[in-house]
Amino acid sequence: MNGKVGSAFVLYFGEDKIDSFIYRLSDNSSVFMAEVFAINKAVDEIIFRNLDYVDLITDSRSALMAPNSLNEKRIYVNSIKRKILNYSGKMNIKRVRAHMGTKGNERADHLAKLAIEKQEIECSFHETRTKIRLNIKRNMIMSWQNRWDSSKNGEETREFFRKVCIRRVKGDFYLNQIYTGHGVFRTPQNRFFGKTNTCHCGNEIGDVQHVLLRCRLWSTYRDQLKIELNTSIHVLLRQEKFQSFCRFVIQYLLNLEVEQ
């Protein structure tokens, strides 16, 4: 809560509350570790009081299953398992559903929220592997974004993809020419091969925007698509019909280039 982590457990005898304990954990602690920490502290208290028979109740399925797993490798979790197995009394770990009104469980949840207000951090855990991977991934994407924002290359592509993303972009031979501003359009043909940059219609420079949105040669096809006035090419490219139109136009231009 608010970037802080608390943990708590409550000791009951029947319906009567005997004692309660709250702890503030380091801010990098996971919810799972907060639950496991509470179980560990409860086990220590049970051993200290030398109680004969105890039900240890939690609403965390993962914290309940971890000590029972044969594949568990975390030292902290396995230490709890050893304490329970070596205890002379009997401890039953049980799970209840969260927020169902179970008295002790609801009280422990409330105390865990209060624990974050404590100034002293009573236990610090290392970052989990999951968090480390997430942080590395986040930093890599931030670095990638900074390079992308400051790059002198890819201006046309940046108009379509301002934010970097690890999701695969579904392009193809035709659409990629639009995204990159390269390929058969007159502007890259002029830049790389010294050809004229005037569109085949003879009216304007034959860049992506003109050819696909304004060129009179394709006005009949665009009318069939019922494109609304001033709709950006970024929006239009989300439509399958417009993508098909783009492929048709680019293939036609390619054929013209081959014939010349």
Boundary of a domain, candidates 152, 167, 182 = 167
Domain membership of residue 135 as a residue range: 127-167
Average pLDDT for 48-55: 90
Quick check: 66 and 74 in contact, CB under 8 A? yes
Residues 145 and 35 in one domain: no
Same-domain pairing of 150 and 180: no
Whether 145 and 79 map to the same domain: the answer is no
Q: In this structure, are 121 and 26 located in the same domain? A: yes
Confidence (pLDDT) at 242: 94
Q: Whats the size of the chain, residue-wise? A: 260
Predicted confidence band at 101 (pLDDT cuts at 50, 70, 90)?
Answer: low
Q: Are residues 155 and 186 in the same domain?
A: no
199 and 239 both lie in a single domain = yes
Residues 73, 163, single domain; the answer is no
* Percent of the residues in the chain that have a pLDDT greater than 90, as a whole number: 48
pLDDT above 80 for 1? no
Euclidean distance between CA atoms 104 and 64, whole angstroms: 16
- 118 and 137 in a common domain: no
Summarised one tens digit per residue, pLDDT across range 162-201 is: 999 988 877 899 999 999 989 999 999 999 999 999 999 9
Looking at the fold, whether 14 and 102 belong to one and the same domain comes out as yes
Specify the number of domains making up the chain.
3
Handedness of CA 179, 180, 183, 187 (dihedral sign): positive
Residues forming a β-bridge with 137: none
pLDDT tens per residue across span 212-225? 999 999 999 998 98
Cβ neighbourhood burial of 246 (10 Å; 0-12, 13-18, 19+):
buried
Total-model pTM = 0.61
Residues 178 and 158 in one domain: no
CATH value at residue 11: 3.30.420.10
